[in-house]
Structure 1
Amino acid sequence: MRRGNYGYDAPWALAGLVFGGLALLGLAAVSFTFDVPAPGAVFLLGGLYTLASAGSHLYTTRRGKFAVWAGELHRLKGDERVLDLGCGRGAVLLLAAGRLPEGRAVGIDVWRSRDQSGNAGQVTRANAAAEDVTADLVTGDMRDLPFGDGTFDVVVSSLALHHVHRAEERARAVREAYRVLRPGGLILLADLRHTAAYEDVLRDLGMTEVRRRDLGWRYWYGGPWADMWMLEGRKPVLTAASADRVA
């Protein structure tokens, strides 16, 4: 159980599913009351399905995503520098921080509330205190990261990159993530959309061990039609032989 206050991902979408499901059940009740069973059955099934989707969304935002990311971050040794792109309230950032007794977790965001209820830097700091971990918070744009080349051992991101509206700007953010990653470092980018495009960018940059995979039912925002994908890879280590070829 997490002790911080992490809000609800896409709260308006969740509210829409709940109210939509209840409205359909109301229409089903009216249909059966007036002895119109066929539409009533359709409304009933639609309402139950919509409420089940709301349950899936609620489970993911409150439990499922934490379980998935805990598994992903299990590979940390404890002495890494980890950067979270679009860290929000710190759901992933603070999980990472708890696994870094000798390392450091850094989160960057523009601190907006449209995509997650009550999202602000002070909430993230309060969550860090509640979880009894420390993390550095930086206000900045993931398309122009204020860090030097090769600063971090691991770069992570969850549900952040797709909020960048233009494809070329999303590609720029992925290139920035690659730039600040040290040779041999790991990148983990989870998103609902565009992960195939992110993969193309990383492959063009020369990243190795690239793979893209479905994160499964624990990360469904309503159902399999709103599933999350993870893109991971490692920045190649520049050996003496490869340096000679580049030269």
Structure 2
Amino acid sequence: MTNINQTTIPAGKAKYGVDAPGVIRNLALASVVLFLIVIFFPLIKIGSVDIETGGLIWSAGGCGLGAILMLAYSLHGKFIHRDRMLNLINWTGDEQVLDVGTGKGLLMIGAAKRLSTGKSIGIDIWNAEDLTGNNVENAMKNAELESVKDKVEIMNENAMEMSFADESFDVILTNMCLHNIYNKEGRKIACAEISRVLKKGGTAIVADWRHVREYKRNFDEFGLSTKLLPANYLTTFPAVGMVMVKK
């Protein structure tokens, strides 16, 4: 475990980055290339075979729309989604909160704003491919800019191997994080760690665009109470589902 000493001097407005920038870039490039093929090469001859490329216009449009919707989520939708997650908790203000995969601190900071005497801790390994500007310094800077630096703590921690004691947190939040663990057993270990550090009577909200039913089965197996919540197709893309977990 590494505690991060918050010493960054803030400047400007908090910025929470663009999610999956590489995916957005690739979709946009694919859209442009496909459109250019349709425009400049409407008919491609391969030997004696003529291939009409007009049908690619649908693929081009689909890729372009995907890029736009993902960007819209990053710039607007994820703030609505964050509030939806936070509104599922009956806050008293003294909670100990953990944000697993905090990135630039969106959930950690959002939770901190609902606390009085409580503490909001964000953990991550800060993969640059997941989010633009995804690093400890920017997470700390956002906490200061949002005036919650005294209510947060940021740590380098792996979701599959947390250093916290059993039953440390009243609330655990994680969004678009666990799918980045590419093997099923690893995701189950992460769910087990969330279960371990969640207090009796506590609540975890696990949101993701993949594997949500798998997470539910894991928590069910660990003896926790679970409830699947419907994906929000209007403000998240890809649509993000959630499972509410109570211990």
TM-score past 0.5 threshold: yes
- Give the number of the structure whose residues are more often helix, by fraction: 1
Structure 1 stretches (4+) deviating beyond 6 angstroms? none
1:230 aligned to which of 227, 234, 242: 242
Structure 2: gaps (5+ residues): 1-11, 45-50
Q: How many residues are paired up?
A: 226
Match of 1:245 in 2: none
| Residue type of the alignment partner of 1:109 | D
1:179-215 Cα distance to aligned partner (Å, 9 max, x none): 1111111111111222222111111111124324323
1:127 corresponds to 2:142: yes
1:62 aligned to which of 50, 56, 75: 75
| Residue type of the alignment partner of 1:234 | K
The answer as to whether partners of 1:199 and 1:212 remain within 8 angstroms in 2 is no
The residue matched to 2:98 in structure 1 has which SS? strand
After TM superposition, give the deviation of residue 64 of structure 1 in Å: 0.6
**What is the correspondence of 1:63-82 to structure 2 with a 5 Å cutoff?**
63-74=76-87, 75-77=89-91, 78-82=93-97
| Comparing 207-216 and 55-64, the one that deviates more | 207-216
| Residue type of the alignment partner of 1:59 | A
Give TM-score scaled by structure 2 length. 0.84
| Residue type of the alignment partner of 1:181 | L
- Give the number of the structure whose residues are more often strand, by fraction: 2
Match of 1:173 in 2: 190
1:118 corresponds to 2:128: no
| Residue type of the alignment partner of 2:131 | Q
| Residue type of the alignment partner of 1:125 | M
After TM superposition, give the deviation of residue 111 of structure 1 in Å: 2.4
* d(CA) in 2 for partners of 1:209, 1:191: 15
Match of 1:241 in 2: none
CA RMSD, 1 decimal: 2.1
Q: Structure 1 pair 168/209, CA: closer, same or farther in 2 (3 Å)?
A: closer
The residue matched to 1:119 in structure 2 has which SS? coil
* d(CA) in 2 for partners of 1:159, 1:176: 17
1:105 corresponds to 2:112: no
1:136 corresponds to 2:153: yes
Match of 2:171 in 1: 154
The residue matched to 2:128 in structure 1 has which SS? coil
The answer as to whether partners of 1:155 and 1:177 remain within 8 angstroms in 2 is yes
1:26 aligned to which of 36, 49, 65: 36
Give TM-score scaled by structure 1 length. 0.84
The answer as to whether partners of 1:203 and 1:210 remain within 8 angstroms in 2 is no
1:30-72 Cα distance to aligned partner (Å, 9 max, x none): 14699xxx94542333322221111111011121111011122
The answer as to whether partners of 1:113 and 1:119 remain within 8 angstroms in 2 is yes
1:182 aligned to which of 169, 177, 199: 199
Match of 2:9 in 1: none
* d(CA) in 2 for partners of 1:114, 1:7: 11
1:213 corresponds to 2:230: yes
The residue matched to 1:206 in structure 2 has which SS? coil
* d(CA) in 2 for partners of 1:201, 1:209: 10
Match of 2:56 in 1: 43
* d(CA) in 2 for partners of 1:209, 1:47: 40
| Comparing 205-214 and 143-152, the one that deviates more | 205-214
After TM superposition, give the deviation of residue 76 of structure 1 in Å: 4.2
Give aligned-pair identity as a percent.
27
1:7 corresponds to 2:17: yes
